[in-house]
Amino acid sequence: MNHLSELQVLMFLFVLLIFVSFLWNPLLTPLAIVALALQAYISVSLLPRDYPEDWKRYTLLFLLLEAVILLIFYFILTLPISTIYTSPFTVLWFFLGSMFLVLLMRLFLFRRYCFGTVLFSTRGWAGVYVKSDLFSRVQEANYAVKNNLAVKKGDRVRIRVELSGTHSIPSRIEKILKK
């Protein structure tokens, strides 16, 4: 399990523990805080090694998702049902806010490039290793991509991706980041 997957599991655990502690037993709140502290540790110390260009973006994404989920829990669990039925503006504001968040997440979450490490380079082609990337929807694997630059084994590169259904496929090297 890589550090990004550990971060996702801890995020799920944090949200679940907060929800259960709110509904059932407040004594579970310290466990949720421990899960949040482990997320912070992984985000600051381990994630930068795996994703040097994106670790801040991943950290921000998971914190925003947790905040949105907690706000929705709070809204649903604390707002009296009579308020929802007597004030149509409450539902309208909730719907508009949700749509705004979906649009922001769409803009924030998607990009048409990923990062990889060159494994080998030949005339016009290069083999690159790419770690899974949520923002460009690329699966972790070795890919053969077009190459018009003078890259060498071990170079860190930015790779253009092409859309293909539910995920993207790296297609060509755009830029050398680190030699």
Q: What is the pLDDT at residue 126?
A: 95
Average pLDDT over residues 149-169: 89
Q: Residue 83 pLDDT > 70, yes or no?
A: no
d(CA 7, CA 26): 24
Residue 144's pLDDT band (boundaries 50, 70, 90)? very high
pTM for this entry = 0.72
Average pLDDT on 126-141 reads 90
What's the pLDDT score for residue 95?
Answer: 79
pLDDT band at 70 (very low <50, low <70, confident <90, very high): confident
> What's residue 141's pLDDT?
93
Q: Which helix (H) or strand (E) holds 133?
A: none
Tokens of 152: 């060498």
Spatial distance between the Cα atoms of 55 and 60, rounded to a whole number of angstroms: 9
Nearest-CA neighbor of 7 among 51, 53, 69? 51
| Per-residue pLDDT tens digits for 46-62 | 989 888 888 888 888 88
Q: Look at residue 133 and tell me whether its pLDDT is greater than 90.
A: no
Share of the chain above pLDDT 70, in %: 94
